[in-house]
Structure 1
Amino acid sequence: MRGRIFFFMMLATMVFSLTSPPASAVDRGWLEYKTGFILPNGRIVDTGNHDISHSEGQGYGMLLAVFNDDGATFDSIWNWTNKNLYRPDVGLFSWRYDPNAVVKVADKNTASDGDTLIAWALLLAGEKWHRQDYIDASTGIQDALINQVIITFSRRTLMLPGRDGFDKNSYIILNPSYFIFPAWKAFFQHSHRQIWNKLAMDSLGLLKKMQFGTYGLPTDWVSLTESGVVEPATGWPERFSFDAVRIPLYLAWNGADAADLAPFVKYWKTQPYDATPAWINVISNSTSSYYLSPGMSAIRDLVINKKNDLNNNISPKEDYYSASLHLLSFYAKKS
């Protein structure tokens, strides 16, 4: 195990809350994650994508640090994120950092999932460790999300995937894997601002219209017209794939009922358990020639109620994204 001996400690009586999960004991999976993907300065490395970093990854790392009661690592991740990605002009974060580029943050557009994850992690950290500065930072990001990317369109309250480029006037582009329902619930419970409830209800309702093809699955990217027509977005593959696989994770984490999870359960239960394709084209039913990563498999197991198969053992072959989904599914099963 990378030449190190790790001690696995669990608190058997721990209760894991949906919106403010208490720390687990420091465990082997978290230590493996830190060793594999978090640099000493707090930058989280996307090992499957040319070692870039992005706001999504920083948010995942901050969440995992809270769940493991690791304040020192949380601080390092947050400090790096705030220093290198924060945009004071909009109150949100640039989505991408390339350590190999001359201009390391060339694209200053935001990513709403990363912004949401960072705000959620700060809120949980502030509540857990009694840090008002974290709570204040989270509140500022929540306000910026409301002001910058939450819009009213087609008589719904919705969150654009980023600040720029997704509102096409007659239609908008959405990424339903950015619908992070447990974070929105936490924001409402803290602030009591009804916009978070409205956003959750309208987004959940829209997901019911994003049921394409034989299995009724959403695609990674979706377009919505003002009149309410929902279709797979032009310019992206018509796939239930690496983005959309997070939709059932966030639904399950939020305590979704069986009907909301039914399309995902239906699809996954028709596939060979040990040879489930990593993606399916919802229109043609063509599938990938390769299988679910361990992290994607963990989401499947969470959703089809094979929770006993979930663990926090990160394989040396897992990249950043798989390992992140793997650990998040492990913690979500405790909800």
Structure 2
Amino acid sequence: MVLRTLSAVVVMTALLFTSLAQADTAWESYKARFLMPDGRIVDTGNGNVSHTEGQGYAMLMAVANNDRPAFDKLWQWTNGHLKNKETGLFYWRYNPVAPDPIADKNNASDGDALIAWALLKAQQRWQDSSYGTASDAITQALIKYTVIEFAGYRVMLPGQNGFDLNTRVNLNPSYFIFPAWQDFARRSYLKVWQELLRDGQTLVGKMAWGEAQLPTDWVALSADGSLSPAQEWPPRVSYDAIRIPLYIRWQNAQSPLLQPWRQWWKQFPRQQTPAWINVVNGERAPYNMNAGLLAVRDLTMGESQSEPQITAQDDYYSASLKMLVWMAAKGN
């Protein structure tokens, strides 16, 4: 009996260390592939540019993996190179080979929210109030420059400039980072975050078009409250929209907003799920979901999650989705 018990302990310990090693390997692989020595994340699928989205994603991963040196490196580069000192937000895109690496002075509200969320989680994990102070400053700037009331809804614009078109506003529902907004509400007790959560989820529930009955990447909200695919982009459920069920699931695994996604995806064998669909003409991508998109599909469908493996076939976005799905599944 004693030997049997000892054997069980040895096996369980080995499994535990194997699990930890795999998780550690995923993060180490991610860093090796995408994190530059100066703290910049490169988008290998987009000419090795960097953007606030990638910085925020990696900062969240660093906290989840208890890697404070990597977190500080990421945050210092982001704050030093992308910070707009006039607004307190961040320039959304950095191209290291351009004459002006920050040609577009606009922000991206999802990147700002991801950075602020990672800072808030860093304070909670490492008990350093400076992270929380920095997070609060960003969320206050987001409210000031990107949150408006329009057509009876409280909405967060995708950026400070270019999305409020008077008779309509263009929204990106994949920028509605519900778990971050929920944490900001708990942190600040500000009513605006609860309103964004409520109205954002209401709007997503009304974004249902075409055969798939799903939200497109970009959506126009008109002054009368009606919704339609935004005319400036292809009317596709595609690489942006894939993050909508990820964030819904991350905030509430029981959300009824996941059901339309399940209904659409369950029609297809897993490996034959089209990467996108055009909701106007029904055209489907001539290629199937890659590994990162499939990870979101699996999470949404309620399939069990194992530690991600970052492979040579994964570009920055695919690898990031894999890592984020694992974090969402664990509740990190």
TM-score (norm 1): 0.92
Alpha-carbon RMSD across the aligned residues, in angstroms, is 1.8
SS in 2 for 1:100: coil
SS in 2 for 1:92: coil
Whole-Å separation in 2 of the counterparts to 1:172 and 1:226: 8
Match of 1:42 in 2: 39
Does the 8 Å contact 2:178/2:251 carry over to 1? yes
Q: Work out the number of aligned pairs and report it.
A: 318
Match of 1:136 in 2: 133
SS in 1 for 2:170: strand
Does the 8 Å contact 1:223/1:232 carry over to 2? yes
For structure 2, the residue ranges without an aligned partner over 5 or more in a row are: 1-13
Match of 2:6 in 1: none
For structure 1, the residue ranges without an aligned partner over 5 or more in a row are: 1-7, 14-22
Q: Confirm or deny that 1:61 pairs with 2:40.
A: no
Alignment counterpart, residue 327 of structure 2, candidates 300, 313, 331: 331
Task: Pick the structure with greater CA Rg.
Answer: 2
SS in 2 for 1:158: strand
Does the 8 Å contact 2:249/2:255 carry over to 1? no
Paired letter, 1:223 = A
Match of 1:52 in 2: 49
How far did residue 173 of structure 1 move?
A: 0.2
Paired letter, 1:170 = T
Whole-Å separation in 2 of the counterparts to 1:185 and 1:25: 30
Identity of aligned residues (%): 47
Q: How is 1:241-260 mapped onto 2 (pairs within 5 angstroms)?
A: 241-260=238-257
SS in 2 for 1:235: coil
Name the CA shift for 1:67/1:232 in 2 (closer, same or farther; >3 Å): same
Whole-Å separation in 1 of the counterparts to 2:88 and 2:140: 8
Match of 1:311 in 2: 307
How far did residue 258 of structure 1 move?
A: 4.7
How far did residue 153 of structure 1 move?
A: 0.4
TM-score (norm 2): 0.93
How far did residue 334 of structure 1 move?
A: 1.5
Does the 8 Å contact 1:25/1:68 carry over to 2? no
Paired letter, 1:183 = A
Whole-Å separation in 2 of the counterparts to 1:11 and 1:128: 22
Does the 8 Å contact 2:163/2:170 carry over to 1? yes
Match of 1:5 in 2: none
Q: Confirm or deny that 1:95 pairs with 2:92.
A: yes
Q: How is 1:1-335 mapped onto 2 (pairs within 5 angstroms)?
A: 27-308=24-305, 310-335=306-331
Does the 8 Å contact 2:22/2:307 carry over to 1? no
Paired letter, 1:306 = E
Whole-Å separation in 1 of the counterparts to 2:229 and 2:292: 24
